[in-house]
C-alpha cells in the first residue's frame, strides 16, 4: 500500500501520531509512506517533490490530507482520487476544516457528537517518546504541571495551592532552549520552521520526569478538549486525573477503572482524599490504564485504526 500524506511542516500532535504509527506499522505490513514535508517524524527518504508526486499520482492507494499551517492543499486536490481520499483533522476546534463529503472518510480530533456517515473520531495518541515505566515509589502524590491560562486551570491551581500539600507539585515546567531544539533532531520539524513556530517542539525531560515520578497527574483542557498533556500523563505512568469532557474517544478510559474524572472542585477534592487513603487501589487502576493504552492508544494503534477503517469502507 502506497500512502501519500500531505502534511504540515510544523509539529502537530495528531500528524506526528499518525506518521509515527504508520512508520511502525510498515514493519508489520507492506506500507510505503510518502510525505510532502520533512516533519512530524517523516523520514528524509519519504519526502517527495511535487514533481515526483505528480508523476506518480496514479500509484497511490490512499491519499491523506492533514491540517495545520502550510498544508499543500492545491497539490492534494490535484492528485487525490476522491474514492481513496481521507482527511485527518487535528484542529483545536469542533468546526470541520474541510467539507467532510469531499472525502471517503473524515477523521476528526475535536468531535463532540456521535459520529455519523463517513465521520470518525481520532484523538491524539501516546508518542513513543512519552512511554515510561510505572514508578513504584513516586516522589509526588500529584502533579499539576500547567499554568492558569484558562479559567478552569486557574481555579484548579488556586484550589491546590490552598491545600498546601508538600507532596503536590504545581505549575508549568518550561523547557530549555536545548530541549526545544531537540525537536529538530527528532524530526518534528526543520530548523527553519522551528525558528518561526517553536510551540511544543522538542522533548522536555524535566517535565516528563516529573510526571513519571508522580502517583497521579492532572489534565485540564486548554484550547481544545483533547490535550497533549492527557496522553503524556498516560504514557509517563502517572494515574490520569482529568476534567470530564464530552469528546468522542474510541476505547475510552473509564472513571474508576483507568482514570479519575471530575466535574467540580468538590469532586476533585473527594477523589484526592480517597486516593490518599488507598494508594494501592490507585496503583491497580494505573496498571489497568497502562494495559488499555498499550492496546488501543499507542501511535501504532492509532495508525492501524485509520488504515483498517479505510480498508473496511473500500471493501464495503
Domain positions in the chain = 2-125+299-315, 128-296
DSSP assignment letter at 26: T
Topology alike, domains 2-125+299-315 and 128-296: yes
Nearest to 151 by CA among 93, 252, 222, 53: 222
Print burial letters for 56-65: b (CB count within 10 Å at least 16), e (below 16).
eeeebebbbb
What pLDDT, on a 0 to 100 scale, did the predictor assign at position 293? 98
CA distances from 266 to 152, 175, 217, 219 (A): 14, 32, 17, 16
What pLDDT, on a 0 to 100 scale, did the predictor assign at position 52? 98
Tell me how crowded residue 69 is: count the other CB atoms within 10 A of its CB: 11
Residue 64 confidence class, pLDDT cut points 50, 70, 90 = very high
Task: Tell me what the mean pLDDT of segment 79-102 comes to.
Answer: 96
Would you state the torsion angle of the CA atoms of residues 182, 128, 34, 228, taken in this order, to the nearest 10 degrees?
-80
Task: Tell me what the mean pLDDT of segment 150-174 comes to.
Answer: 92
CA distances from 125 to 107, 137, 231, 250 (A): 14, 26, 6, 11
Task: Evaluate if residue 315 carries a pLDDT over 60.
Answer: yes
Residue 66 grid cell: 492533514
What pLDDT, on a 0 to 100 scale, did the predictor assign at position 165? 85
- What predicted TM-score, i.e. pTM, was given to this entire model? 0.95
Q: How large is the greatest C-alpha to C-alpha distance in the chain, in angstroms?
A: 65
What pLDDT, on a 0 to 100 scale, did the predictor assign at position 223? 78
Task: Tell me what the mean pLDDT of segment 221-250 comes to.
Answer: 93
Task: Tell me what the mean pLDDT of segment 27-43 comes to.
Answer: 97
Mean pLDDT of the chain: 95
Task: Evaluate if residue 244 carries a pLDDT over 70.
Answer: yes
Task: Tell me what the mean pLDDT of segment 57-84 comes to.
Answer: 97
Task: Tell me what the mean pLDDT of segment 142-154 comes to.
Answer: 92
What pLDDT, on a 0 to 100 scale, did the predictor assign at position 199? 86
What pLDDT, on a 0 to 100 scale, did the predictor assign at position 300? 98
Which CATH code fits 2-125+299-315? Answer: 3.40.50
Exposed, middle or buried by CB within 10 Å (0-12, 13-18, 19+), for 297? buried
Distance in angstroms (rounded) separating the CA atoms of residues 256 and 172: 27
Looking at domain 128-296, which CATH architecture does it have? Answer: 3-Layer(aba) Sandwich (3.40)
Task: Evaluate if residue 316 carries a pLDDT over 60.
Answer: no
Report the length, in residues, of the chain: 316
CA distances from 105 to 9, 125, 201, 253, 296 (A): 23, 19, 29, 25, 20
Query: Which residues sit opposite 242 in a β-bridge?
Result: 219, 261
Task: Evaluate if residue 164 carries a pLDDT over 90.
Answer: no
DSSP assignment letter at 168: E
Task: Tell me what the mean pLDDT of segment 244-252 comes to.
Answer: 92
Cα-flanking dihedrals φ and ψ of residue 193, to 5°? -70, -40
Amino acid at each position: 500500500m502506497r500512502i501519500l500524506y500531505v502534511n504540515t511542516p510544523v509539529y502537530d500532535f495528531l500528524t506526528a501520531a499518525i506518521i509515527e504509527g504508520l512508520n511502525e506499522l510498515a514493519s508489520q505490513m507492506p506500507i510505503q509512506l510518502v510525505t510532502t514535508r520533512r516533519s512530524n517524524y517523516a523520514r528524509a527518504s519519504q519526502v517527495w517533490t511535487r514533481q515526483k508526486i505528480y508523476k506518480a499520482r496514479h500509484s497511490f492507494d490512499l491519499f491523506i490530507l492533514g491540517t495545520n499551517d502550510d498544508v499543500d492543499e492545491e497539490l492534494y486536490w490535484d492528485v487525490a482520487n476522491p474514492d481513496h481520499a481521507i482527511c485527518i483533522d487535528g484542529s483545536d476546534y469542533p468546526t470541520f476544516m474541510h467539507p467532510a463529503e469531499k472525502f471517503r472518510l473524515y477523521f476528526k480530533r475535536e468531535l463532540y457528537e456521535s459520529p455519523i456517515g463517513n465521520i470518525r473520531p481520532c484523538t491524539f495518541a501516546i508518542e513513543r517518546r512519552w512511554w515510561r515505566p510505572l514508578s513504584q515509589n513516586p516522589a509526588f502524590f500529584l502533579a499539576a504541571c500547567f499554568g492558569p491560562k484558562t479559567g478552569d486551570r486557574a481555579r484548579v491551581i488556586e484550589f491546590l495551592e490552598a491545600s498546601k500539600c508538600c507532596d503536590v507539585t504545581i505549575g508549568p515546567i518550561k523547557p530549555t532552549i536545548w530541549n526545544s531544539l531537540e525537536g529538530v533532531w527528532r524530526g518534528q520539524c526543520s530548523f527553519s520552521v522551528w525558528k518561526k513556530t517553536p510551540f511544543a517542539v522538542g522533548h522536555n525531560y524535566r517535565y516528563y520526569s516529573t510526571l513519571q515520578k508522580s502517583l497521579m497527574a492532572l489534565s485540564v483542557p486548554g484550547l481544545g478538549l483533547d490535550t497533549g498533556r492527557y496522553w503524556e500523563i498516560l504514557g509517563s505512568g502517572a494515574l490520569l486525573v482529568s476534567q470530564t469532557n464530552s469528546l468522542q474517544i474510541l476505547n475510552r478510559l473509564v472513571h474508576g477503572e483507568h482514570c479519575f474524572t471530575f466535574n467540580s472542585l468538590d469532586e476533585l477534592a473527594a477523589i484526592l482524599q480517597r486516593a490518599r487513603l488507598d494508594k494501592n487501589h490507585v496503583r491497580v487502576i494505573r496498571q489497568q490504564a497502562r494495559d488499555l493504552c498499550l492496546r488501543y492508544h499507542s501511535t501504532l494503534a492509532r495508525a492501524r485504526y485509520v488504515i483498517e477503517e479505510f480498508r473496511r469502507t473500500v471493501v464495503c
